[in-house]
Amino acid sequence: MDITQLILDDHHEQRRLFAILEEIDRRDTGVLSAIWSRLAAFLELHAQAEEEIFYPALLQVGIAARRAGAVQDETLDAIHDHNEIRDAVADVARHQVGTEGWYAAVAAANTANSDHMAEEEREGLTDFRRLAGLPRRHQLAVAFAAYEARNYAGVQSVDKDPAGYVRAAEKKTRADGSLSVGTLKRT
């Protein structure tokens, strides 16, 4: 098991759910609402899981590999993107399901999410595979899967200050790149 693969699997599911929305009859607002509710909750859960598990670990391995600047930039951008996705998801709720405004808001959320996933797949996940060994990626995959399982019913959506997020994550990281907490502690 590899955290980068779990994230890619989540990305595939997000793309699949957005595609399903495009295939449903616009008059079938009950189904549209149900699929959107699932997707909106999943987008937030995925973002929170990345923010709790993946991005602190990316910063950790980047610091240890003396590539702090690159991983800081990737993390800042990712947190900013997560905020944009949250805002786009919130905008969907302002529209009646099945209306032109609702579809436009869903399309905006899809664009924000697609842009983020493409960038993350090109940069953050690729860098992480280069910097972290498979045992570490496995350990993080277990934590990521557990986080999503524990929070399957959803998590509260909260925008984060990207710079504050990075500062807080870096404060938890020792000079040797260890987060020095729980199962993420380097021995």
Give CA angle at 83 (106, 43), nearest 5°.
50
Closest CA to 17 of 33, 44, 35, 34: 35
Whether 174 has a pLDDT exceeding 80, the answer reads no
pTM for this entry: 0.87
Residue 181 pLDDT level (bands cut at 50, 70, 90): very low
Q: Rounded to whole angstroms, how far apart are CA atoms 177 and 75?
A: 16
Q: Rounded to whole angstroms, how far apart are CA atoms 63 and 96?
A: 46
Q: Rounded to whole angstroms, how far apart are CA atoms 155 and 85?
A: 15
pLDDT tens digits, 47-84: 999 999 999 999 999 998 898 889 999 999 999 999 99
Closest CA to 57 of 15, 95, 3, 116: 3
* DSSP state for residue 66 in the 8-state scheme: T
Q: What is the DSSP string of 67-117?
A: -HHHHHHHHHHHHHHHHHHHHHHHHHTTS-TTSHHHHHHHHHHHHHHHHHH
Pick the more confident residue, 84 or 153: 84
Instruction: Quote the percentage of the chain above a pLDDT of 70.
Output: 93
At 168 the pLDDT is: 87
pLDDT tens digits, 23-57: 999 999 999 999 999 999 999 999 999 999 999 99
Residue 145 pLDDT level (bands cut at 50, 70, 90): very high
